[in-house]
Amino acid sequence: MSILEPLQITNTHVAVEVLQLSGYGLIWDIVKRFLNTTIPINGQVLLFLRPPVLRHCVLDVFLLPGNILRREVVTEQEDAKYIKISSDCHLNVGHSYSVHCEPEDFAIQPESIKFQSKYGRNFHPTFEVFLTTNTERVTLMVQDQEGRQVWKRTVHLTGYFPDSRRGSLPEEVEENVQVEDSVPAQERLFSVRTEFINRVSDPALNQLLDKLLQRGVINDEEMQSARIKVQAEKARDIIDMVRKKGTRASSVLIDALREVDLCISTELSLS
């Protein structure tokens, strides 16, 4: 061991003379390239369940480096619910991974994707698993490009769906639900149109506009046109505009109202 004497010192650098360097780093890099091997990093699998739309849900699967703070990802997922589950796994940067699900009749996209060690504030789902809201549990597996299993967990979904969509109901309640489900959504909205206009608050209406835009029911121009109106006109514009778009759009509005203001939704018999 010896102390290096500086040859030159500037405001930003110190220049020294080194006569002998270790060849370990260069040789090890060549060996890794020759063997085509990479060292896995500590990774994590995070799961988020989006709110149901038309009795379907999307389970978002995130593959992330282990040093990404969970709370940073949670804050970006808006109204999606974080599913707490053991998440540790080992991942190789640049390797392809895929997600598999049991039961196997659920659609998953994409089929596979390369894992990248990305950092930043934009966290987007790596995979999307399309579920139905009567799903009690699923088994998820993450496999590498060689088909090896790197993570597998049984995920219990009971309790993550709204109570009105899950579990057993008394016979009397089930009968009422069946009757309501037999009525087209746009007719249900029309039957409560006056109460909707008079009772839904302005902040709730703005949240409904955001959700309708997010779920593709309205476009930016329709949202901006409605947002600038006073409360009663805004409510009238929203319910009439959505009813004219048909059953699917009306069902999305009913679901969105349930999420934004469950009390009003219940009072209007839309929950």
Is 126 found in the same domain as 184?
Answer: no
Decide if 106 contacts 130 (C-beta within 8 A): yes
Decide if 56 contacts 94 (C-beta within 8 A): no
Nearest to 69, CA basis, from 92, 93, 87: 87
| Domain presence at residue 161 | no
Q: How far apart are CA 223 and CA 215, in angstroms?
A: 12
> How confident is the model at residue 46, as a pLDDT?
94
> How confident is the model at residue 4, as a pLDDT?
85
Q: How many structural domains does the chain have?
A: 3
Q: How many CA atoms lie within 13 A of 127 on its CB side?
A: 29
Tell me the pTM: 0.50
Query: For the domain that residue 184 is a member of, what is the CATH number?
Result: 1.10.533.10
| Average confidence score pLDDT of the chain | 83
| Domain presence at residue 1 | no
Domain that residue 212 falls in: 168-267
| Phi, psi values for residue 33, rounded to 5° | -65, -40
Decide if 149 contacts 142 (C-beta within 8 A): yes
Both tokens of 3, joined, read: 């102390």
Can you tell me which residue has the tokens 């709204």?
162
Both tokens of 53, joined, read: 């739309």
Residue 261: CB atoms within 10 Å: 21
| Domain presence at residue 108 | yes
Is 139 found in the same domain as 190?
Answer: no
> How confident is the model at residue 19, as a pLDDT?
76
Is 45 found in the same domain as 29?
Answer: no
pLDDT digits (tens, 9 = 90+) for 66-118: 888 888 888 888 778 899 999 999 999 889 999 999 887 788 999 999 998 77
Is 146 found in the same domain as 53?
Answer: yes
> How confident is the model at residue 105, as a pLDDT?
74
Query: For the domain that residue 48 is a member of, what is the CATH number?
Result: 2.60.40.2660
Is 98 found in the same domain as 152?
Answer: yes
Do strands 127-132 and 108-109 pair parallel, antiparallel, or not at all (unpaired)? antiparallel
Is 30 found in the same domain as 57?
Answer: no
Is 182 found in the same domain as 135?
Answer: no
Q: For residue 3, what pLDDT band results from cuts at 50, 70 and 90? A: confident
| Domain presence at residue 134 | yes
Q: What average pLDDT score do residues 28-36 get?
A: 66
pLDDT digits (tens, 9 = 90+) for 169-214: 344 434 444 444 557 888 889 989 999 999 999 999 999 999 999 8
Nearest to 52, CA basis, from 220, 245, 258: 258
The one-letter amino acid code at 120 reads: G
Decide if 52 contacts 133 (C-beta within 8 A): yes
Q: How far apart are CA 241 and CA 62, in angstroms?
A: 36
Q: For residue 47, what pLDDT band results from cuts at 50, 70 and 90? A: very high
